[in-house]
Amino acid sequence: MNRIGRITLAVAGALTLGLASVTHAQVVMRNSVSIAQNSHQGNGIDVLSQEVEKGTKGRIIIKNFFSGSLGGERESIESVQLGTQELTGTSTGPIPNFVPAVKILDIPFLFRDKAHARAVLDGPIGQALLKEFDSKGFKALAWSENGVRHMTNNKRPINLPDDLKGLKMRTMENPVHVAAYKGFGIITTPMAFPEVFTALQQGVVDGQENPLSVIMAAKFEQVQKYMTLTAHVYSPALLLMNKASFDKLSPADQKVFLDAAKLAAAATRARVDKDDASGVADLRAKGMNIIENFDKAAFVAKLAPVFTQFEKEFGKDKIDAIRNYK
Ligand code: EAX
């Protein structure tokens, strides 16, 4: 395999038959997610590769890598931008470093629920944001989903925002999250996802925050005692492709990728819904102490100064356009 990870192989059948000419070249691409295959994002890229293989009649094969085996999300996004990897599935965590316009989506308590977030992403606001990737070396194939994030830790049950004061928490490498969590009094430690389990296990950090889908796929219940269903932020995800690799495809194959990405995102969202429905009971059965009833209004109120700062940075009109989207 050459450096750009793309190989052209003679069709095996043609070779075995000893035919002189090769009728179809096969292209192999690479895709990755930072979490396990048996997860919402893992299912998503599996559907993408199946659909692309089917839609191109096997001319394009996508080899999937899971659990950050090609690197964490920031590294994978970089590889896709450079073209050393064709595709990646990623949360928006590290995206602000590449496409700053997307930052607005990571504001806490921005969306009422998943349905609201999905409507915004699938509507004109989300579709315009996908276009922002074009000039940065990416083709953003579709919005996918990481889920609604909740806080876990090993120190104490969190009922009130002040319970977070002084907690050392791993955050994503995302400036909006870091600013907001500092507003709670959290000691923020940005870290790539593949390092988080060990950091929790060794007590490098007290806690972390992630959707139920991620917490279950990563088995964080093995290293975290408490969880509060804070639902403090919706975490979008994306299916990203190297722009040059996408542009090289025929229009028909481009359509195959775009349609496959839509099906992949739908599969991911369906798995998030399933995980959200079963997650609390599942994690409780595995020994986690889970707080469902807590003073949510107090958490929102605590972030008032941070929201003022975000309104200045992003424009109140833009934030309101998302908040009020029906
Ligand atoms: O995309 O880094 C994170 O916490 C993400 O939620 C995780 O890697 C799944």
CATH of residue 234's domain is 3.40.190.170
pLDDT at 1: 45
238 within a domain of the structure (yes/no): yes
In a domain, residue 292? The reply is yes
Residue 34 CB–ligand 1 contact under 6 Å: yes
Q: Per DSSP, what are the bridge partners of residue 170?
A: 189
Q: Residues 264-294: pLDDT tens digits?
A: 999 999 999 999 999 999 999 999 999 999 9
For residue 105, which of 132, 134, 86 has the smallest C-alpha distance? Answer: 132
193 in contact with ligand 1, CB cutoff 6 A: yes
Q: Which residues pair with 211 in a beta bridge?
A: 149
Q: What is the pTM of this model?
A: 0.92
Q: Is the pLDDT of residue 164 over 60?
A: yes
The tally of domains found in the chain comes to 1
In a domain, 15, yes or no: no
pLDDT per residue as tens digits for the range 293-302: 999 999 999 9
Name the residue at shortest CA distance from atom 1 of ligand 1. 91
The residue whose CA is least distant from atom 6 of ligand 1 is 210
Q: Please work out whether the CB of residue 214 comes within 6 Å of at least one atom of ligand 1.
A: yes
CA of 212 to the centre of ligand 1 (A): 11
Q: What is the pLDDT of residue 25?
A: 77
Q: How far is the CA of 56 from the centre of ligand 1 (A)?
A: 31
165 pLDDT exceeds 50? yes
Handedness of CA 252, 254, 256, 262 (dihedral sign): negative
Q: For residue 33, what are its two tokens?
A: 């997610």
- Residue 18 within a domain: no
| 254 is a domain residue | yes
Candidate of 74, 205, 208, 210 to mutate for ligand 1, largest count of ligand atoms within 8 Å of Cβ: 210
Residue 178 included in any domain: yes
d(CA 85, CA 70) in angstroms, rounded, equals 9
The pLDDT of 169-173, averaged and rounded, is 98
C-alpha 82/C-alpha 287 separation (Å) is 43
Q: How far is C-alpha 74 from the chain's CA centre?
A: 11
Query: DSSP string spanning 60-96?
Result: EEEEEE-TTTT--HHHHHHHHHHTSSSEEEEESTTGG
* pLDDT bracket for residue 43 (50, 70, 90): very high
Is the C-beta atom of 210 inside 6 A of ligand 1?
A: yes
Parent domain of 294 = 26-323
Q: Is residue 8 part of a domain?
A: no
Q: State CA 102 to chain mean position distance.
A: 13
